[in-house]
Amino acid sequence: MKLEIEHLVYRAGGRTLMDDIHLISESEHCTALLGANGAGKSLLLRLCHGLLEPAGGSIRWNSRPPRELGAAITMVFQKPVLLCRSVRANVEHALYLQGVARAARRARAEAALELAGLADCMERHADVLSGGQQQRLAIARAWALKPAVILMDEPTSKLDVRSAASVEKTIGDLRREGIKIILTSHNLAQVRRLCGEVVFLHEGRLVQHCGMDDFFARPADDIVCEFIESQTF
Amino acid sequence: MTDFSEALETALLLMVNLDAGLVEIIALSLKVSLTAVAVAALIGLPLGALLAVSRFPTRRFWINLLNTFMGLPPVVVGLMVYLLLSRAGPLGPLGLLYTPTAMVIAQTLLILPIIAALVCGLVQGLFDEYHEQLRSLGSRTLATARTLLWEGRFGLVTAILAGFGRGSAEVGAVLIVGGNINHSTRVITTTIALETSKGNLALALALGLILILVSLLVASAAQWLHTATVRRSRQ
């Protein structure tokens, strides 16, 4: 999916939080949104999904605004928001919301849970899963909708190393399925492992948009250098 | 103290002897209050949930109105229902005045705002937590309301019990529209009012104790159901 962001502006509470963002991404790779806290990464994800409407400019996926794309774009949040029901029912409910026929829901839910490595705990209550399992369930739920794009807001930030690795493996599997992934992260090692493209934001402005190797080899300015150093050491 | 000990003795005697008149009064009280709660829940649950998840210009006004109606004076509601159902009223031809149906209508009007307002508050809390996730899954207003009602199902018991409490303890409205007719519209609260006016305080107190006991039994049953459902859903 081709992402075109043109002169994007977003304001809230009298402040400009996103200022004249302009970028085109056709990369088949996973894209990382980087920047310090408050840079506007999560905000940009929400705008790309259509959860928020920009004050100016436009966002288009294959020349269409996000709100026209329905479940073609799904989102996984930093803290997985799961329904108070079984693992399988969580995925099935997402399919129900999309109008998938009852008969097809079970098979699609099971396929998604198998991909996420949760096949052996389908009947367990979502509340009793570990943090990593909950995040994988949230990803499985997003994947079950057969999206073209999944937006992930710091999907491993609250997980230990082992759980983060299991989530990374699931993200890798999604990439191989041909799904475009855009994620925010503070973990540069993880970004290197998963992504091929970087969008760097600072205080609501686009500072650098380039390939992964270029980002580390040729940082656009001191802010990017500082960020790389602060996250590396 | 004498009144209290007499009341306890009378209450125990009435219950042990399974007094036919008392059983009839308790049965009618339960029938009226539970029916009113069921009707109010049927309307109040979706109404409260939809108010919580919808966004329209006058929404705040309707929520304020609902909260205000939680404290509706029963006698005013009774009077309004009386005017509606009286022979000269718009619903007079239905002949519902001084029937249990009239009492159900009055109690429903009193309970509905309580259930709807409590559900609205409950679902609003859930909406704050879930709405981005549900929207990202493509959920629309109606589906979101349904999903959040189900998510808040354990908290709904409290809202429904609050409604039952209001209905079962209510006396003014049912007295006006029911008329406290023996073997027809006499419920525990109206009997207490009648016995008190006759100076039969021990019997009135005994009936009060029985009313508390009935409420306790209903609340315990609801709590048991709630606990069992939570346990089952967590397995």
Task: Report the complex ipTM.
Answer: 0.85
- Put simply, whether A53 touches B (Cβ < 8 Å) is no
Chain Cα centroid distance, residue B88: 28
Work out the pLDDT band at A7, boundaries 50, 70, 90: very high
Closest Cβ–Cβ partner in A84, A97, A98 for B151: A84
Alpha-carbon gap: B120 to the closest alpha carbon of chain A (Å): 19
B positions 113-132 inside 8 Å of A (CB):
129-130, 132
Neighbour tally for B107: CB within 10 Å: 33
Chain A residues lying within 8 Å of B129, measured CB to CB: 81
Quick check: B147 contacting A, CB < 8 Å? yes
Residue B235 is predicted with a pLDDT of: 60
Q: Name A44's bridge partners.
A: none
Average confidence (pLDDT) over A122-146: 92
Judge contact between A94 and B136, C-beta under 8 A.
no
Is A93 near chain B, with CB under 8 Å? yes
- pLDDT, position A70: 85
Nearest to A125 among B133, B136, B233 (CB): B233
In sequence order, what are the residues at sequence separation of 6 or more whose Cβ sits closer than 8 angstroms to the Cβ of residue B40? B107, B108, B111, B112, B114, B115, B163
Which residue in the set B130, B136, B147 is minimally distant from A74, CB to CB? Answer: B136
Distance from B65 to chain A by nearest Cα, in Å? 29
Question: Residues of B with CB below 8 A from A125's CB?
Answer: 233-235
Cβ count near B194 (within 10 Å):
17
Contact yes or no for B137 and A83 at CB 8 A? no
pLDDT at B218: 85
User: Is the Cβ of A125 closer than 8 Å to some Cβ of chain B?
Assistant: yes
Short-list B72, B74, B221, CA closest to B160: B221
The string of DSSP letters for chain A reads: --EEEEEEEEEETTEEEEEEEEEEE--SSEEEEE-STTSSHHHHHHHHHTSS--SEEEEEETTB-GGGSGGGEEEE-SS----SSBHHHHHHHHHHHTT--HHHHHHHHHHHHHHTT-GGGTTSBGGGS-HHHHHHHHHHHHHHT--SEEEEESTTTTS-HHHHHHHHHHHHHHHHTT-EEEEE-S-HHHHHHHEEEEEEEETTEEEEEEEHHHHHHS-SSHHHHHHHHHHH-
pLDDT score of B80:
96
- With an 8 Å Cβ cutoff, is A24 touching chain B? no
Name residue B113's beta-bridge partners. Answer: none
B137/A145 touch (CB, cutoff 8 Å), yes or no: yes
Residue B141 in contact with partner chain A when CB distance is under 8 A: no
The three-point CA angle B44-B48-B49 to 5° equals: 120
Determine the average pLDDT of the residues in A198-225.
Answer: 92
The per-residue pLDDT for range B53-71, each reduced to its tens digit, is 999 999 999 999 999 999 9
> In chain A, what percentage of residues exceed pLDDT 70?
99
pLDDT (tens digit, 9 = 90+) per residue, A24-76?
A: 998 888 999 999 999 999 999 999 999 999 999 999 999 999 989 988 999 99
Rounded average pLDDT over A154-168: 86
* A77 close contact with B: CB closer than 8 A: yes
Query: Rounded to an integer, what distance in angstroms lies between the CA atom of residue A79 and that of residue A169?
Result: 18
Size of interface A-B (CB pairs under 8 A): 44
- Residue A213, phi then psi, degrees to nearest 5: -65, -40
Q: Do A70 and B138 touch (CB under 8 A)?
A: yes
**From CA A5, how far away is CA B81, in angstroms rounded?**
60
Predicted confidence band at A233 (pLDDT cuts at 50, 70, 90)? low
Low-confidence ranges of chain B (pLDDT < 70): 1-3, 232-235
Look at strands A73-76 and A56-61 and give their pairing: unpaired
Q: Is some CB atom of chain A closer than 8 A to the CB atom of B17? A: no
- pLDDT score at A23: 93
pLDDT at site B98: 96
